[in-house]
Amino acid sequence: MALVAFCWWSAQNDQLALHETAGEVLVGLVIFRLIWGVVGSSTARFADFLRGPRGVAAYIGELRRGRSEHAIIGHNPLGGWSVAAMLGLLVLDLGLGLFAVDVDGDQPGPFAGLVSFDQGRAIAHVHHWVFNTLLALIVLHLAAILFYAVVRRDNLVGPMLTGAKAAVREATPMKGAPLWRLPVVAAISALAAYVIAQGGKL
């Protein structure tokens, strides 16, 4: 989230070189998160927190009845789809940034050579609007976290940082991923980000 804020600041202040560097780092982090969502710890996996319409509807019903959800380990159904939406918008925006061209054409994206200048400028405008949509969703997500903390007395930030959460009802504990997967996935993500930053060349 700090990098997203930095991307906004660098774009607003015409620090395009910094903006591009931050975007490249974000590409690596997003690749890591996508892979980790498949092979990571149980609560990090998309299959664990992306529930179908019935699961979401049931959770909304429990919220209306004021039932405590401390037994949920990881993202609740609404939070899970919020994370997925933010991640999806981030992937889209980063993808657009790879082809975007600035007004002067001095700081084009690594794949901007595959499109014309006018196409690159049009992509840059869409890149801008998608980013604003992402910012709005982040604000909404933060507001939801604040709502849970103040109204429902449920601290969501602590468990995100520590990986531990007290459950008032029986809950399936988190299953951690083997430690060796962390450096392997990190290395793959860093290499992929480097290749992308070089325009697809090693």
Amino acid letter at 47?
A: A
Residue 156 has pLDDT above 70, yes or no: no
pLDDT for position 34: 96
Domain count, the chain: 1
Three-state SS string across the chain, please? CHHHHHHHHHHHCCCHHHHHHHHHHHHHHHHHHHHHHHHCCHHHCHHHHCCCHHHHHHHHHHHHHCCCCCCCCCCCHHHHHHHHHHHHHHHHHHHHHCCCCCCCCCCCCCCHHHCCHHHHHHHHHHHHHHHHHHHHHHHHHHHHHHHHHHCCCCCCHHHHHHCCCCCCCCCCCCCCCCCCHHHHHHHHHHHHHHHHHCCCCC
Residues 114-133 as b or e (16 or more Cβ within 10 Å = b): ebeeeebbebbeebeebbee
Could you list the residue range(s) of the whole structural domain that residue 78 is in?
Answer: 2-8+15-164+173-197
Residue 189 has pLDDT above 80, yes or no: yes
- Evaluate whether 102 touches 124 at the Cβ level (below 8 Å): yes
Which of 19-28, 69-78, 164-173 has the lowest average pLDDT? 164-173
Over the chain, what is the mean pLDDT? 84
Q: Has residue 202 been placed in a domain?
A: no
Confidence class of residue 163 from pLDDT cuts 50, 70 and 90?
A: low
Distance separating alpha carbons of residues 5 and 148, to the nearest angstrom: 23
pLDDT for position 197: 93
pLDDT for position 172: 65
For residue range 130-151, what is the model confidence (pLDDT) as tens digits?
Answer: 999 999 999 988 887 787 777 7
For residue range 20-62, what is the model confidence (pLDDT) as tens digits?
Answer: 999 999 999 999 999 999 999 888 888 887 888 887 787 777 7
pLDDT for position 37: 92
* Alpha carbon distances (Å) from 188 to 42, 193, 194: 20, 9, 10
Q: Has residue 95 been placed in a domain?
A: yes
